[in-house]
């Protein structure tokens, strides 16, 4: 089976960005965990300006925030797919969802370490 060549490279990319933006808005407006983490990200951004963190600290902070939000988005998608496939409780689905949540935990702990290294000396 051959795939049809994408003759609309630029318009296709613009549509993809639109879908991604729409997904980000859905995450921020419907998922409580993302709402909390986005609020923390805004507070950390304000703290970065207040404490005048360095260029390198901004880079690492931005990466940490993006990592946590991105992994949380993937976790949310895994949970939604799992619930769609098997709405009732199932031990194996629970195991999959726990692993997905564990990935968020690892990202959040790494971010907490980064924020501690950046801000504890400044406070």
Cβ atoms 48, 58 nearer than 8 A? yes
Per-residue b or e along 53-80, where b marks 16 or more CB atoms closer than 10 Å to that residue's CB: beeebeebbeebbebbbebbbebbebbe
Q: What is the pLDDT along the chain (123 residues), one digit of tens a residue?
A: 566 666 677 787 888 899 999 999 999 999 999 999 999 999 999 999 999 999 999 999 999 999 999 999 999 999 999 999 999 999 999 999 999 999 999 999 999 999 999 999 999
């Amino acid at each position: 089976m051959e795939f049809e060549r994408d003759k609309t490279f630029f318009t296709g990319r613009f549509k993809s960005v639109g879908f991604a933006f729409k997904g980000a808005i859905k995450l921020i407006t419907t998922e409580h965990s993302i709402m909390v983490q986005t609020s923390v990200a805004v507070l950390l951004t304000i703290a970065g300006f207040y404490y005048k963190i360095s260029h390198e600290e901004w880079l690492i902070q931005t990466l940490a925030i993006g990592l946590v939000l991105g992994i949380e988005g993937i976790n949310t998608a895994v949970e939604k797919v799992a619930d769609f496939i098997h709405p009732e409780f199932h031990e194996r689905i629970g195991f999959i969802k726990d692993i997905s949540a564990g990935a968020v935990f690892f990202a959040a702990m790494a971010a907490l370490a980064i924020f501690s290294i950046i801000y504890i000396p400044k406070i």
